[in-house]
Structure 1
Amino acid sequence: MIFEILKPKVEHIIASTEKTVDERLLNICELLEEHLDYYNWVGFYFRNGNKEELLLGPYVGAPTDHTVIPFGKGICGQVAVSNQNFVVPDVAAQDNYIACSITVKAEIVVPVFVNGENIGQIDIDSNTPDPFTEADERFLEFVCSQVASML
């Protein structure tokens, strides 16, 4: 399984303390986008201080205008409020979806918790309809726990 192969690579990136946090986050995005064909946009959003909004962090994929997302808006904004993973098999069926690209068919968002607080999330868009499985969720939870360890 590709996820088991990628886990030590994620751990190695996290342990590369000679790099900045943003460099390591970008390296994780690059790793996932490169090795998982259906991960077409991979990025991190983080809470903007005490504001009820998310700011775009490091990412790979097509440029996005969505650099600030209010809590509750879109899939990322909903995860900021719910503190739960959100898997969207078909973005066209979601009322509260913020369209980034007409090529995006599905999305998965998994929160990053530090000391029990949701401080951000990993957001992945796919141009493949309904590609995400429970294995993706478990792997991305692992990634987010690793990210939390360096924040």
Structure 2
Amino acid sequence: MTFEALKPQVETIISTTSKTVDERLLSICELLENQIDYYNWVGFYFKNGDKNELKLGPYVGAPTDHTIIPFGKGICGQVAVSNENFVVPDVSAQDNYIACSITVKAEIVIPIFVNGENIGQIDIDSNTPDPFTSEDERFLEFVCKKVAEILS
């Protein structure tokens, strides 16, 4: 399924006010993981209160021990500091990478902004080497903008 075909489905999930925010976030994770072959782990991390760390939110995929990530540590922690997208074509080439699974080959992390503040991110792991393109980035930016609407 193309990214353009997924956008209305994301919008439908976001606008389903009968579900909690976490239920809607989980539905987005499930949609992306089910519809995009090379998305093998999809989850959200959010700033943990006033602490300089991220806390794991809804996700689908293999369980992870990384429920709390300090700012600056790993790809997610770096995005929390840089406020910029981070695409990693080969995780084995990254010095500051937190390995969640030996099967993960690539990762993409896109920040979520509410009122100009980086409040979290979507994190996607892939078991396929170098699968992410600028189309993935643009689509995930769209997803993050939609998610921000229900977090503000």
Normalising by the smaller structure, the TM-score range is over 0.9
Distance 1:18 1:91 in 2: 38
What is the aligned partner in structure 2 of residue 44 from structure 1? Answer: 44
SS of the residue corresponding to residue 75 of structure 1 reads helix
Q: For residue 10 of structure 2, give the secondary structure of its aligned residue in structure 1.
A: helix
> How many correspondences in the alignment?
151
- d(CA) in 1 for partners of 2:64, 2:48: 18
Q: Output the CA distance in 2 between the equivalents of 1:2 and 1:56.
A: 28
Return the offset for 1:127: 0.0
Residue in 2 that maps onto 1:140: 140
Aligned residue in 1 for 2:99: 99
Q: Name the structure 2 match of 1:114.
A: 114
- Aligned to 1:32, the other structure's residue is in SS state helix
Where structure 2 has 5 or more consecutive residues not aligned to the other structure, the ranges are none
Letter in 1 for 2:102: I
Q: One-letter code of the match for 1:24?
A: R
The 2-side partners of 1:148 and 1:15 are apart by 12
- What SS class does the counterpart of residue 101 from structure 1 fall into? coil
Q: Could you tell me which residue of structure 2 aligns to residue 66 of structure 1?
A: 66
How many angstroms does 1:77 deviate by? Answer: 0.0
Identical positions, percent: 83
Q: Which runs of 5 or more structure 1 residues have no equivalent in the other structure?
A: none
Match of 1:16 in 2: 16
CA distance in 1, matches of 2:3, 2:29: 14
Paired amino acid for 2:93 = A
Q: CA deviation at 1:120?
A: 0.1
Deviations 1:101-150 (A, max 9, x none): 00000000000000000000000000000000000000000000000000
After superposition, give the CA deviation of every residue in 1:31-90 in whole Å (9 maximum; x if it has no partner).
Answer: 000000000000000000110000000000000000000000000000000000000000
Q: CA deviation at 1:13?
A: 0.1
Whether 1:86 aligns to 2:86 is yes
Cα deviation for residue 92 of structure 1 reads 0.1
Letter in 1 for 2:26: L
User: Which runs of at least 4 in structure 1 moved beyond 3 Å after TM superposition?
Assistant: none
